[in-house]
Structure 1
Amino acid sequence: MIVRIMGEGQVDVAPGDLAGLNELDEKVEQAIESGDETAFRTALHALLDQARKIGKPLPDDDLEPSELILPPSDATMDEVKAMLGDEGLIPD
């Protein structure tokens, strides 16, 4: 699955690795719902770090369409909240 991290590029994440990203996505959602900025920042960075760790970077000139789009590391809670769908940033 091609995942774009806004402002950074794309990584290819194996389908079997999505469950771990979903767990971190839930923590981002919970932090937003509770309005906890510190927990939000920690959860967002953990999600992005994990996507970078497990994903295989794609070349900048690769034009594969992104199946998932993750916010940049400096995104605000309001910006991420606007990106959330019914299933969070990462659908099950």
Structure 2
Amino acid sequence: MIVRIMGEGQVRLDDSHLAELNKLDDELLEQMEGGDEEGFRRTLGALLDSVRRLGASLPDDALEPSDLILPSPDATLAQVREMLSDDGLIPG
């Protein structure tokens, strides 16, 4: 799967990592619903770090269709709320 991190680029990630990312996505949703800004920042960072660690960055000139789009590391809780549907950032 191809994951785009807004403001950074795209990462190719094996589908086998989806369960790990979904766990972080669930935590992020809980923190957003509870208005936990500190927890949100921490979990968003962990989610993005996991994508970077588990995946392989695509060249900057590559324009593959993205399966997932994740917010930039400096995105606010309000901005991420706008990105979400009922499924969260990562469709389960």
TM range (shorter): over 0.9
Which residue of the partner structure matches residue 66 of structure 1?
Answer: 66
Identity %: 58
- Measured after TM superposition, the shift of residue 21 of structure 1 is 0.5
Amino acid at match of 1:68: L
- Measured after TM superposition, the shift of residue 72 of structure 1 is 0.3
Name the SS for the 1:62 alignment partner.
coil
Which residue of the partner structure matches residue 14 of structure 1?
Answer: 14
- Measured after TM superposition, the shift of residue 82 of structure 1 is 0.7
User: Which stretches of structure 1, 4 residues or longer, exceed 2 Å deviation after superposition?
Assistant: none
Which residue of the partner structure matches residue 49 of structure 1?
Answer: 49
Give the TM-score taking structure 1 as reference length. 0.97
- Measured after TM superposition, the shift of residue 63 of structure 1 is 1.2
Matches of 2:24 and 2:5 in 1, distance apart? 15
What's the RMSD between the two structures over aligned residues?
0.6
